Amino acid sequence: MRSLLAFRKIPPPFLLRCLIHCKPFCSQSRFPTESDNPSPQVNENPPTSSSSSVVVANLSTRKPEHKDESRVIDALLDRRNDPESALRFYNWARPGSFEVGDSFWLLIHILVSSPESHGRARDLLQRYVSSSSPMPRVLVCNLVESAKSFGFEVKALPFSYLLNAYTKERRTDCAVECIKLMIELGLAPYVRYVNNTLSALVRRNSINEAKELYGKMVATGLVAGDKATAHLLMRASLREEKPEEALEVFSKAIEREEEPDGLLYSLAIQACCKTVNLGMAFGLLSEMKEKKLCVSQETYTSVIVALVKQDRVEEAVRLKDEMVSEGIPMSVIAATSLIKGHCKNGDLGSALEMFRKMEKEGPSPNRVTFSVLIEWFSKNGEMERVLEFYKKMEALGITPSSFQVHSVIQVCLKGQRPEHGLKLFEEYFETGTANIFICNSMLSWLCKQGKIDETKDLLRKMESRGLGPNVVSYNNVMLALCRTKRLDLALTVFSEMLEKDIKPNDYTYSTLIDGCFKNHDFHNAWEVIAQMNSSDIEVNEVVYHTVINGLCKAGQSSKARDMLEDLMREKRVCIGCMSYNTIIDGFIKESRMDSAVAAYREMCGNGVSPNVVTYTCMMDGLCKNSRMDQALEMRKEMKEKGLKLDVPAYGALIDGFCKKGEMKSASALFSELFKEGLNPNEAVYNSLISGFRNLGNMEAAIDLYKKMLKDGLRCDLPTYTTLVDGLLKEGNLIMAFGLYTEMQGLDIVADEIMCSVIVNGLSKVGQFVEVVKMFEEMKKNDVTPNVFIYNAVIAGHFKEGNLDEAFRLHDEMLDKGLVPDGVTFDILVRGKYGESQCIGIESL
């Protein structure tokens, strides 16, 4: 018996670690010799059989005697240059057995030594791995140790076959460990098997692990990969939405002087499209055509989609035409993208044409196609088209999404076909596919239409179907009820919500409190506030601002200020500028300017910086209270803080100067406004026109009126009233009535003030017939004449001798609740008794 110790060498440090941490398959520290275990002679020349062509022979009916391991090894070593003979002997000596010892690993090395038997080694390792579960480190140790023990060179091939076996068995972690062990040994795994392992990692979404493993192989210079590796890594990067990394892989493949194939180009073009580098995408596309590479449908689609996203729809259409001309059918993704591009550009006609083409020539539209069409045609209010698309979806067997159903329902409800929307909702609800979003939307619409019974019925049905209702459902109902001034019902819904243990949120309280204040129901407002404060909800600034706003509109600004002080003191919520502005505005409207100034100072003292709205409100209040000096101080302070006056701020100051008759200062501010690049509004012009009218300077007033029209502003009723009044006072009836006729041509209806101005002017020049016409016109326009106008008409009738009509109008005044004044009494007395008798009556 030959000694095997001569073949053993001291293993490198890695193998020493392996031998320390793993148990070899041989049960002894060395192979047994004859002296250790004397046994009968073994026939080492088994008969040749056709079964030697398989890796492991089928189990024979008679189980052969288990041969001594050392004798089997000796026999295999005698056959090391004849792999087929070695395999036949091993099958005979170890039939059907995987009691693997050193003889097994010796056989593997013998088989991989000849190209003709490589497949035998691969299949043998595959069979072994599939029937056992040793970890890769153990098997790698056995391969290395056996190679060195029996004098074989440590080659990459058997380790690569082991790697392949793990991959085929889907033991990916073992395959990864096997590659890492090969890297430690300095052995280059076969690229094909590496790609299989990387692919398995990507499939299970371990993309970072795959990249890390590939990076280690490249860093050692063992494996650079091939085109398949590049394909795999680029796809992985694109899946991770990292197109830059995909392009980097492409660049490295080019650096390795690999000739890119069609797939590599396609992936690179997709990456370019995702990085919006369309210039590079078109460059690669041209290279593909020059190299006669087939451009796939997927490649064309990627570029078309990218072009549409960049709003380059015309280029996308040309590329689509090029694709079709080359015999490549248009994909549904490309067609849908083009439809969306046309819709975004407002070209619904082209979008519809593309859809018709899809119906006729293909590809068949899918759910996304219909979603795009329904969304954009809904936005355009084209209800009939939306219904057409919806019906075609159903005809094609495409189940509409919740979004699509909601869009169709909404366009019907907002259009002239609410019955269709209701019917569609009922059908969708009965199928059990309706979600709470659609139900909440329907609840809101029903409330706005005043369909309270239907709303309650839907709430009940939602509850029975397990669709809530939730806090959003109740909020929608309460908001709609508050907006339609049905506060009592809103409060009832709120009570039901609490009874069902549905917790209100900030929006709930804000809606109800605002509704209570707008309906002047202060008692319930405070009830809701008390309930809110007793709950454990974190109330935000919006809710408190709603309370403050409601109090100020109700004329209770002091109460709002007290609440604000409490909040600031308790630091329950951060109060901003908006709430202070509301309180300041409330005090000004209550004619409490000193309180407004105090609130402003308190605001600054609490570290809340005033904004443009604050200063505008303060300046407006100060100007209206003839405190121009303080208003100008505010303006100075505003500028010092770097805040620019807006149009309302200039308007407040200009109006203040106009009311004081200081038109020079007002005109200077008007000029400054233009220098700041601002455009005055109607209110600013009206203030200046009124100011010049008050000074009798109608020429300047008319010039401003003309400039107003030139600037594209439309004169409103106050503008015309001021101009007509000024012109009538000057006796310029022609121009005054010219403006009045112009006003009527703009469909502006004269109010009581305008009628009083005209009646007054006509009465002074004795135009009684025109006064009566104005009087009748007021009645026709449902404008109630005031006492002044009645007095003018009654006086006219007395002068004309129409005493009965004069007294009838007096009675009409009383019937309408108007109280005659001293002028009315004087007119009646003079008209009835004459001038001479009136003197006698007055002397009494």
DSSP for 209-243 reads HHHHHHHHHHHHTS----HHHHHHHHHHHHHTT-H
- The answer to whether residues 534 and 558 belong to one domain is no
The band of 476, judged by pLDDT with boundaries at 50, 70 and 90, is confident
One domain for residues 511 and 547: no
Average confidence (pLDDT) over 426-449? 84
Q: Three-state SS for 346?
A: coil
Residue range 143-156: mean pLDDT, rounded: 91
Nearest Cα to Cα of residue 197 among 228, 219, 220: 228
Provide the b/e sequence for 734-764 (b: ≥16 CB within 10 Å). ebbbebbeebeeeebebeeebbbbbbbbbbe
Going by pLDDT thresholds of 50, 70 and 90, the confidence category of residue 18 is very low
Whether residue 737 lies inside any domain: the answer is: no
Could you tell me if 449 and 572 lie in one domain? no
Percent of the residues in the chain that have a pLDDT greater than 90, as a whole number: 38
pLDDT band with cut points at 50, 70 and 90 for residue 317:
very high
Residue 528 lies in a domain: yes
Contacts (Cβ under 8 Å, ≥6 apart) of 428: 405, 409, 434, 438
**599 and 492 in a common domain:** no
The band of 607, judged by pLDDT with boundaries at 50, 70 and 90, is: confident
Would you state the pLDDT for residue 649? 92
Backbone angles phi, psi at 281, to 5 degrees: -60, -45
Q: What's residue 34's pLDDT?
A: 31
Rounded Cα distance, 518 and 514, in Å: 6
**What is the C-alpha to C-alpha distance for residues 218 and 183, in angstroms, rounded to an integer?**
10
Rounded Cα–Cα distance for residues 301 and 363 (Å)? 13
Q: What are phi and psi of 528, to 5 degrees?
A: -65, -40
Q: Angle 835-840-843 (CA atoms, 0-180°, nearest 5)?
A: 125
Span 619-646, average pLDDT: 91
Task: Give pLDDT, residue 307.
Answer: 94
Q: What pLDDT, on the 0 to 100 scale, is given for residue 195?
A: 93
Cis before 38? omega within 30? no
Q: What value does the mean pLDDT take over residues 721-747?
A: 88
Supply angle C-alpha 729, 732, 735, rounded to 5: 125
DSSP annotation of 6 reads: G
pLDDT at residue 570, rounded to an integer: 66
For residue 390, pLDDT beyond 80: yes
Structure tokens at 791: 């007095």
Domain boundary pick from 608, 624, 639: 608
Quick check: is 513 in a domain?
A: yes
Q: What single-letter amino acid sits at 701?
A: A
Mean pLDDT of 368-397: 89
Q: Does residue 100 surpass a pLDDT of 80?
A: no
Q: Are residues 117 and 147 in the same domain?
A: yes
Given a cut of 70, is residue 10 above it in pLDDT?
no
Do 448 and 529 fall within a single domain?
yes
Q: How confident is the model at residue 96 (pLDDT cuts 50, 70, 90)?
A: low
Q: What is the pLDDT of residue 839?
A: 39
* Neighbouring C-beta atoms of residue 2, cutoff 10 Å: 12
In the predicted model, what is the mean pLDDT of residues 266-278?
90
Statement to judge: residues 80 and 200 lie in one domain: yes
In a domain, 660, yes or no: no
Query: What residues contact 567, with CB distance under 8 A and at least 6 apart?
Result: 544, 573, 575
Structure tokens at 706: 């003309």
Calculate mean pLDDT across residues 332-359.
94
Where among 576, 608, 640 does a domain terminate?
608
Mean pLDDT of the chain: 83
pLDDT in tens, 684-721: 999 999 999 999 999 999 999 999 999 889 899 999 99
553 and 480 within one domain: no
pLDDT band, residue 830 (cuts 50/70/90): low
- Please tell me whether residues 183 and 73 are part of one structural domain: yes
The confidence score (pLDDT) of residue 571 equals: 56
- For 191-249, the pLDDT digits (tens) are 999 999 999 999 999 999 999 999 888 888 888 888 898 999 999 999 999 999 999 98
pLDDT of residue 99: 54
pTM metric for this prediction: 0.57
pLDDT in tens, 752-797: 888 888 888 877 777 778 788 888 888 787 888 888 888 888 888 8
Same domain, 547 and 454: no
pLDDT of 838 above 60? no
pLDDT value at 313 more than 70: yes
Instruction: Burial-class residue 17 by CB neighbours within 10 Å (0-12, 13-18, 19+).
Output: middle
Residue 415 DSSP SS3: coil
How confident is the model at residue 566, as a pLDDT? 75
Mean pLDDT, range 106-129, rounded to an integer: 92
Return the pLDDT at 132: 75
* pLDDT (mean) for 265-283: 91
- Mean pLDDT of the 424-442 span: 84
**CATH number of the domain encompassing residue 491:** 1.25.40.10
Region 383-394: mean pLDDT is 88
417 domain-assigned: no
Kindly state whether residue 796 falls inside one of the protein's structural domains. yes
The pLDDT tens digits of the residues spanning 653-693 come to 999 999 999 999 999 999 999 999 999 999 999 999 999 99
User: What is the number of structural domains in the chain?
Assistant: 4
Angle of the 402-414 helix axis to the 367-379 helix axis, nearest 10? 20
What pLDDT, on the 0 to 100 scale, is given for residue 38?
Answer: 33
On whether both 512 and 597 belong to a single domain, the answer is no
pLDDT band at 574 (very low <50, low <70, confident <90, very high): low
**Average pLDDT over every residue of 415-429:** 83
Percent of the chain whose pLDDT exceeds 70: 89
Q: Domain span at residue 587? A: 540-608
What does the pLDDT average to over 125-147? 87
Is residue 404 domain-resident? no
Within a domain: 430: no
pLDDT at position 7: 32
Close Cβ partners of 170 (under 8 Å, ≥ 6 residues apart): 200
Domain limit, last residue, from 559, 584, 608: 608
91, 128: one domain:
yes
pLDDT at 98: 56
